[in-house]
Amino acid sequence: MKSVVHIEEIEPEIVLLRMQDDVYKNTFSKALIDELIDAFDAIQANQTYKVVILTGYDTYFASGGTRESLLAIHEGKEKFTDKNVYSLALNCDIPVIAAMQGHGIGGGLIMGLFADFVILSRESVYTTNFMKYGFTPGMGATCILPRKLGISLSEELLITSANYRGADLEKRGVPFPVLPRVEVLNHAVELAREIAEKPRYSLVLLKNHLVAPIRQELPSIIEQEVTMHEKTFHQQEVRERIHNLFGK
């Protein structure tokens, strides 16, 4: 079976993690989730890596839940917490750069925002489209969005579920580099080289200190998101919206 997550040490101490599920366009298929978890486990076990670059392929970074997974949650067969893919970057000991060269949709955008550094593409679409399907946000969105973007823009993104190009977010003052797509990965590599100049032990210690408040806060917010899902996800209207939106 063809791998959909590729891990490569592109330079000493710098590891590139590329998501490339071209069949499902980097939606959270079972293969993508399982291979991402395995890849981060392998990175955690390697004591020489100092920094991770997480990226996608072509025009896709990560595209959120599949139709099947959303319907399974609607039917009560699954929860988004069954496999924790959303906070892999947060839980990684070493710094993670999300080189979001392509579209970041729903949970795909949220997964990227849990990274320590975020780089956006001017051309790509970024959206937290949970409410477009009629259910409240999950994947830790209500935790990380306000921390990274501020409450006002976060409420706008989460409630309206609108699509934003990277260029639109740049005008709104997001605190990330927003570059032409072709420049995103190169910028990430340059940043990774700067990070890799530092001692690994110091990087791990400082990252753990900086993200400790988010790690502490996240479980209770996830619990609240699951509770909201239990109230909103099982509506018949949600099922109809899933079918209609995926059918387009």
Containing 32, the helix (H) or strand (E) segment is: helix 30-45
Where does the chain show beta strands of DSSP type E?
Answer: 5-11, 14-19, 51-55, 60-62, 96-100, 103-105, 117-121, 125-127, 164-165, 178-179
Q: Within 10 A of 30 (CB to CB), how many other CB atoms are there?
A: 12
The residue from 209, 229, 234, 243 that is catalytic is 229
Q: Classify residue 237 by burial, with Cβ atoms within 10 Å: 0-12, 13-18, 19+.
A: exposed
Per the CB < 8 A criterion, the answer to whether 163 and 122 are in contact is no
User: Which residue has tokens 């298929």?
Assistant: 29
SS3 233: coil
Is 229 marked active-site?
yes
Per the CB < 8 A criterion, the answer to whether 139 and 222 are in contact is no
Q: Which residues are catalytic?
A: 229
